[in-house]
Structures are given as C-alpha cells and as structure tokens.
Copies of this chain bind each other. A is one copy, B any other.
Amino acid sequence: MNNFEPSTLKYNEAGLIPVIAQDNNTLEVLMLAWMNLEAVERTLKTGKLTYWSRSRSEFWIKGETSGNTQELVELRFDCDRDALLAIVKQKGPACHTNRKSCFFTGIIDGSEFELMVPVDQNG
C-alpha cells in the first residue's frame, strides 16, 4: 500500500489526462472529459467531479451550472497510469443535450442512429 500522489499519473503534453465517467448504479458510460493535476486533487478533496475545460481553459465543476452534478464514488486509474475511470453518482442527465449519456449516437450498418432521447426534466 502506497499513498497516492496525483503527480505520479501521466499527463499528456498539455498537462491533461482523460477521465471516463461511469454511473455507479447502471454502469453506463456517461462521458469522457479531461483533468489536469489540480483537477484530480480538487476532485479527490471535494468529492465533486472537477474537470479542466479545454474550450474555456478553466476548471469545470460538473453540474455547477446545470445542477446535474457528479458525486465521486471511486476514482481508478489504468495500468499505464494515463487514464482515469471515475465511478460517479450522477444527478440528472450527464450530457448537455439532456441525454443520460454523451454517447447517444451509435453506428449501425454504416449509419448513425440516436439511441437515447433527451430526459424530460419537468416530467
């Protein structure tokens, strides 16, 4: 048993590591986003999934605006220490399109199909 040190993960040339968010109940893969070292530290400290937004160049506490938060259940890393798997308790839809998962489009027989409809949050 060693104490975990976030700096021992392997970050890419932009200082980022990919993070897969998986629903702890349904095991659905919800999204893929990115963290830098400080985002990993903040996520472990607060228990709130905190990503690095590559488009806005800022920390992004998932659900802070939408209310669709992700509470950390367990953070895992892979054999190369260059990818993270976050098991999360997802409140509401994970996708900004209001679908449960961002992976809502499937390629079936060479064509794109929408596999999920937006969640009705007023229902």
Contacts and interface: CB of A to CB of B under 8 A. Distances in A.
A32 B22 CA distance: 13
Contacts of A78: 31-32, 95, 102-105
A59 to B, nearest CB: 19
A80 interface: yes
B79 A111 contact: no
B79 A110 contact: no
Interface residues of A, number: 38
Contact of A102 (B44, B80, B96, B99): B80
A78 B105 CA distance: 7
Interface in A8-45: 18, 20, 22, 27-29, 31-32, 44
A102 B28 CA distance: 18
5 contacts: A27-B27, A29-B85, A76-B104, A76-B105, A80-B102
Interface of A: 1-4, 18, 20, 22, 27-29, 31-32, 44, 74-80, 83, 85, 95-97, 99, 102-108, 110-113, 115
